[in-house]
Amino acid sequence: MLMRSEPFTEVHRIAQQLLGATAAGTWSHPAAMPVDAYRSGDEFVIAFDLPGVGQDAIDVDVERNVLTVRCERRPVDLGDEAQAVLSERPLGVFSRQLFLGDALDTDNIQASYHNGVLVLRIPVRERAKPRKITVAGLSGTDQKVLNS
């Protein structure tokens, strides 16, 4: 059930920090969006940080247990007379893929977006939930068969 993400996410993030911010007025190639994942009872909860992204600019899809979240952060429209003095916020398309285990019910994912945080709730499949197995005792005839 534990998820993994693309292997070079951390390397890409470090490279972005070393290269620094892009020139004012240009679109950058942003690092993957930060994510937290939790197991909460019978569901898996994933939270993505997407500050400055409009709800209509978010796309979430699942194909063969690969969850893909894409979004686009556009520059703030201040009109033609505005000139950037400092531009550090990455702009452009963000994308993140997570590989989900077979124990998750990807047909029933629920998504909500509030205060720049996208939250996905993925139920655990019934067959993957822990269950008790009753241990029965042996009857007299069953014990004779075992002892023979």
**Angle (CA) 37 41 46, round 5°:** 20
Over the stretch 119-146, which tens digit does the pLDDT of each residue have? 999 999 877 567 788 888 877 665 665 6
Euclidean distance between CA atoms 97 and 117, whole angstroms? 16
Measure the CA–CA gap between 148 and 141, rounded to whole angstroms: 11
Read off φ and ψ for residue 108, nearest 5 degrees: -125, 40
Q: 55-102, pLDDT tens digit by residue?
A: 999 999 999 889 999 999 888 888 889 888 887 788 888 899 999 988
User: How far is the C-alpha of 72 from the C-alpha of 93, rounded, in Å?
Assistant: 4
The pLDDT score that the predictor gives to residue 2 is 47
The CATH code belonging to domain 4-147 is 2.60.40.790
Q: Is the pLDDT of residue 31 over 60?
A: no
Give the number of other CB atoms < 10 A from CB of residue 109. 19
Mean of pLDDT values over 5-16: 59
pLDDT of residue 77: 84
Give pTM, 2 decimals: 0.68
* Residue boundaries of the structural domains of the chain: 4-147
